Amino acid sequence: MGLTLSAPVIYLSLLIIAVCGIIYELIIGAVSSYLWGDSVYYFSITVGLYMSAMGLGAFCSKFFQKALFDWFVLSEILIGILGGTSALLLFGVYASFEGSYEYAMVTVTLLIGGLVGLEIPLLIRLLEEAQEGLRNNVAHVLTYDYIGGLIGALLFPMLLLPYLGIHRSALVLGMANLLVAGFNFVRHRHLLVWFRPLLLLTTVALGALTWLLWTSEDLNRVLEQRLYRDQVIFTAQTPYQHLTLTQWHNDIRLFINGGLQFSSIDEHRYHESLIHVPMAVVPAASEVLVLGGGDGLAIRELLKYPALKRVTLVDIDPEMIRLAQEQPVLARLNQNSLKDPRVVIKTVDAFKFVEEAAEVYDVIIVDLPDPNATGLAKLYSREFYHMLARRLSPRGALVTQSTSPFFAREAYWCIHKTLQATGLHVYPYQAEIPSFGNWGFQLATPQVLRTSDLKLGLPPEQLRFLTADLVTGLFALPQDIAVNLADISENSIIQPVLLRYYQKGWNGVR
């Protein structure tokens, strides 16, 4: 075997295997985060399961005594099949058997990890006689494995996910695994004992993945549609999130990573409560900062104020901005607000923008998604709120949406207490929004307010939900959402307790 085994071919195969293996991990973690939320939790579980399975696969390799090259090729074929279809399989299980998703995720992760773990010891044993001995072989194999891991970790977020999406990325990688098997067929045919059955399996699998890739757009639409009640009219995977727009008659709904952001039937209740309450504090505001809100609906409400000179919109995702500007139903809903000359759009991370900002704003609107992941929880942190407080004018007002005080009570009051830590005076309020239920907000100001004295800065005929009497009524909170603030911790970047509070509240609703 030492004279016939090509070490360069094996090392190249190992590099590709490592690239594919790490990306399969990332794909499974990304699918789980998209469908269930909490990216840190699911990525941690995926990595832990994958590494453990690799160890189990390596342990099992010692029981393989004969036809080692055949077993290596067979494992590569199985990885190609399972990894290539992993995203489609997991989406399909979630759409058809939601309660079984986590079992499917664990099974797929363990199988892929076990097969990858099986391959590395087999390769070391195959190379042992062909090269300079065990020491050099282990060093070379691990070097290519680690280099491949780095390449895969960079390829997925920078190239594959934004340009191919999750499903097609998995299929392309599966085909890469099968091509590795095919290349080894050509180069090492004489070493294979089970040549014909392995060649047939590779050919059939490659043909199946090619067909799935060819029809992936239709398959994506079918699977996406099964996740939503209404007709999907737009879907896109961006480097930051998955955007989905649905329509049923006059009801337009936007989902980000599967979570509902608004329904056109009642979004006016949310956006009027978010915008016109702080604007009642500063009706003559000329400089306003909006963090999030890339759909343009909050901007639509702000542009009703004639004193407004400039509103700076900060949203990390350029695709969200493009969708709000160019998708006809959404542009009609936001009344083309993002094309108004008073709107300055910054497609950067909100934390980074606030950290580097020098401007002072009369009103700051925090219209970000719920803190259901660590990356979002930091935008509800003590550190972030301190930076916002420094950007607020002495007689200004800041507001943040604060999830549901009924379903996630502790999370709601955690945001309240964290915002209080800045030294601002914080006034909690709520509104009833049929699509979401009871929803909460926090109004914060440098000066003490009498909320009972707040007056709308616009005539009521320009609004659909708020009235002069209702503005003050929003601050009257019922007893069943109250907590003892002494039992609630502040949220910080180092200790993101808000994430635990949020999950505790909403997991009880599922």
State the catalytic residues. 367
What gap in Å lies between CA 290 and CA 215, rounded to an integer? 40
What gap in Å lies between CA 191 and CA 122, rounded to an integer? 14
Reference 499, options 428, 429, 414; nearest CA is 414
In which order are the strands placed within the sheet that holds 287-292?
343-346, 310-314, 287-292, 361-367, 392-401, 437-445, 425-433
At 288, which helix (H) or strand (E)?
strand 287-292
Place of tokens 């780095």: 150
What gap in Å lies between CA 53 and CA 489, rounded to an integer? 38
CA dihedral (264, 270, 272, 278) positive or negative:
negative
Helix 161-188, helix 7-36: angle, nearest 10: 150
| Amino acid at position 112, single letter | I
Given phi > 0 = left and psi -120 to 50 = alpha, else beta, which region is 360? Answer: beta
Asked if residue 419 lies in contact with residue 426, where contact means CB atoms within 8 angstroms, the answer is yes
Three-state DSSP string of 60-99: HHHHCCCCHHHHHHHHHHHHHHHHHCHHHHHHHHHHHCHH
What gap in Å lies between CA 97 and CA 95, rounded to an integer? 6
